[in-house]
Structure 1
């Protein structure tokens, strides 16, 4: 299993809409997340920052993320939520969210 943490900033004018969308995800979005071997997925908010945590249980992360990116329901979802977000300046070139490094874990 791979544990993943990521951060992004939410535009101040988009925060309430972002929360509203996540309270009622589009049909198929959660199912695709699970189908792509992601479990225990959470998003936390502090001010205008969002922190996501999830566990990847598959065998080919890159392939599963490509599958998710090609899904029409996921694309429609991203069309709704991405305009509300502002990627951090230090994100990796091919990423939207900034990947975090795990430095401690206790089971």
Structure 2
């Protein structure tokens, strides 16, 4: 299966900018292990100060995206991480309640790519 490039966005609450940046300089080892275990690679999060939007991009190299995301959502350390980060974010998806429930970050459509 070819590599899938994924793009996502979410709003960062302005009162948490410094804290969000700080914790992402020290991501918990178990969270990083789960990300890799869910076949996610080359994961980057960008921040737009003007709009307070976070943009995440990563490559998915697995064969069952839904199963890999389910494994991530069921991981206890990842759930603890999300409890910390979810309060700092505001979903752009109407009705979204948390990372654990899914649909927290808005999926974006790829419109251009060149290697």
What TM-score bracket applies, with the shorter chain setting the length?
A: over 0.9
Tell me the alpha carbon deviations over residues 70-106 of structure 1, each in whole angstroms, 9 at most, x when there is no partner. 0011001001100000011468895000111001110
Over 6 Å off, 4+ runs: none
Query: What is the alpha-carbon distance in structure 2 between the residues aligned to residue 89 and residue 59 of structure 1?
Result: 26
Task: State the Cα distance separating 1:26 from its structure 2 match.
Answer: 1.7
Match of 2:45 in 1: 43
Query: Residues 1-107 of structure 1: matches in 2 within 5 Å?
Result: 1-47=3-49, 48-89=52-93, 94-107=102-115
RMSD of aligned residue pairs (Cα, Å): 1.6
How many residues are treated as equivalent by the alignment? 107
Tell me the alpha carbon deviations over residues 55-80 of structure 1, each in whole angstroms, 9 at most, x when there is no partner. 00000000000000000110010011
Change in CA separation of 1:16 and 1:88 when aligned onto 2, cut-off 3 Å: same
TM-score, scaled to structure 1: 0.94
Unaligned runs of 5+ in 2: none
